[in-house]
């Protein structure tokens, strides 16, 4: 399991070696569904917005699809709550074309995410999905403890990786 975590971190670092746009998707009024939105806000608060383009798309990613497609970054990382059969707070990362099927089972944003990814791919963007296994997506604000820990940990990993790749800066 530890080896898998190291691989995910290495994969994220590799993806961030190019100019990158990180997109937070979710609804903060549905518990853990807000994980992607809160992770982008964490990155913005901690200064990552100076090095990567951050988009807080919430649950209307299609409204940002063309802005992202027209940007000068080569990589798009979508952060969303995704049910992939893990324990609450577990993380998965991969090429959207290989992981997008996971959206069939859970994501409330699956259709608009697929459409947006298609637009980005046609614009030459490499798109990745960074998914966090939710515990609950019921009405109510705030993340479960497990998902909150993952958001905090991922925020640190992404911030560190962004700082290691100044050539990936979108400033």
Model confidence pLDDT, tens digit, residues 85-129 = 899 999 999 998 876 555 544 445 556 778 888 899 999 999 999
Mean pLDDT of 62-66: 90
Q: What is the pLDDT of residues 126-165, one digit of tens each?
A: 999 999 999 988 787 789 999 999 999 999 999 888 887 6
Contact, 37 vs 58, CB < 8 A?
Answer: yes
Task: Find out whether 83 and 132 touch, Cβ atoms under 8 Å.
Answer: no
What are the structure tokens assigned to 14, written together? 């590799």
Angle at 19 between CA 18 and CA 24, to 5 degrees: 110
Cα 169 from Cα 19, distance rounded (Å): 6
Domains of the chain plus CATH, in order, are 2-138 (3.40.50.1450)
Question: Which tokens belong to 141?
Answer: 């604000």
Closest Cα partner for 59 from 87, 81, 91, 44? 81
- In this structure, what token pair is assigned to residue 75? 């990589």
> What pLDDT score does 60 carry?
86
- In the chain, the N- to C-terminal Cα span, in Å, equals 36
Model confidence, pTM: 0.86
């Amino acid at each position: 399991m530890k080896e898998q975590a190291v691989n995910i971190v290495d994969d994220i670092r590799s993806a961030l070696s190019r100019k990158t746009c990180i997109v937070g998707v979710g609804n903060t009024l549905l518990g853990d569904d807000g994980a992607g939105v809160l992770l982008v806000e964490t990155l913005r608060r901690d200064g990552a917005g100076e090095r990567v383009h951050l988009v807080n798309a919430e649950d209307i990613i299609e409204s940002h699809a063309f802005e992202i497609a027209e940007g000068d970054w080569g990589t798009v990382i979508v952060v969303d709550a995704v049910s992939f059969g893990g324990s609450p707070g577990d993380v998965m990362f991969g090429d959207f074309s290989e992981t997008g099927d996971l959206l069939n089972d859970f994501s409330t944003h699956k259709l608009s995410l697929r459409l947006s990814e298609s637009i980005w791919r046609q614009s030459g963007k490499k798109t990745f999905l960074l998914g966090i296994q939710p515990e609950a997506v019921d009405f109510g604000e705030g993340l479960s403890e497990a998902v909150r820990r993952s958001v905090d940990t991922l925020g640190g990993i992404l911030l560190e990786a962004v700082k290691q790749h100044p050539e990936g800066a979108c400033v």
